[in-house]
Amino acid sequence: MLQLYRPTSGSVFFEGDDLAKLKGENLRRKRRDLQMIFQDPYASLNPRMTVGQIIGEPMEIHGTYKGAAQTKRVQDLLQLVGLNGAFANRYPHEFSGGQRQRIGVARALALEPKLIVCDEPISALDVSIQAQVVNLLEDLQSTLGLTYLFIAHDLSMVRHISDRIAVMYLGIIVELADRNELYANPRHPYTQALLSAVPYPDPFVEEKRKRIILEGDVPSPVNPPSGCRFRTRCQYAKEICAEEKPAFREISKDHFVACHFDIS
């Protein structure tokens, strides 16, 4: 989406523009609206730059703030993400993982973007810190009117933060639905298996739940199976699954599934 890697095929539309076709100055200008929070706060901050330089770099590149105005903007962003504005002169190694991720959030906010891609922003953090970062993201979303594309494998966190959820398998979206609809009524076999693996805090309910165990290994994405990519591990697979790629169809209002069968 952000064109950090150029796609080999397909389209990515944002506000009417195909990002996959934008180049040069047009892509650079569009990137003001598209920012990213990276997965690893220990690897995504330049250790040779101060926090002020890290957060101020996007402003330098796009010419939005300079001099004293940029310094003030950096301090305001640090305070916005729950850090002391005086930390601008410090280096990344002086901060904890949670604090580093807050710096990454401040950098992503520097250009007042419309969309932020959150690439598993809490998976590298201690569990005790994860809730703080997620609450920060939610507060910023309501305050600044942000849109997040939140990528994660923690299903409880996905349910907590998302409005709509897309489930992917081997690079293909297999189900897309509203958060509550997806968790209450999963219709793709892979989604059902994922949700069955989430522990439930009530031992009486947990005892009655059916755990779906997927057999076999995940195929290579370089050489995926023919037809439905999930068929080699699916308990409902038939001949048609190997012969035809399932259509991504709407089975109920705003609920889409890529499966040949109606599984409930």
**The two structure tokens encoding residue 223:** 């050489």
**The two structure tokens encoding residue 110:** 């520097």
pLDDT at 126: 85
At 99, phi and psi to the nearest 5? -70, -40
Q: What does pTM read for this prediction?
A: 0.88
Instruction: Specify the CATH architecture of the domain 13-162.
Output: 3-Layer(aba) Sandwich (3.40)
Q: What's the Cα-to-Cα distance from 216 to each of 82, 124, 193, 231, rounded to whole Å?
A: 45, 28, 14, 11
pLDDT at 207: 79
pLDDT at 51: 97
pLDDT at 131: 87
pLDDT at 199: 80
pLDDT at 163: 94
Kindly give, in sequence order, each residue whose CB lies less than 8 Å from that of residue 45, ignoring residues fewer than 6 positions away: 54, 92, 100, 103, 104
Residue among 4, 116, 109, 115 at smallest CA distance from 59: 109
pLDDT at 17: 93
pLDDT at 246: 96
Domain with CATH 3.40.50.300 in the chain: 13-162
HEC string of 172-198 equals EEEEEEEHHHHHHCCCCHHHHHHHHCC
Cβ neighbour number for residue 138 with a 10 Å cutoff: 14
pLDDT at 55: 97
H helices of 63-187, in order, are 67-80, 97-109, 127-144, 155-161, 179-184
Q: What's the Cα-to-Cα distance from 224 to each of 230, 232, 245, rounded to whole Å?
A: 9, 10, 12
pLDDT below 70 — which residues of the chain? none
Q: How far apart are CA 213 and CA 171, in angstroms?
A: 21
pLDDT at 110: 95
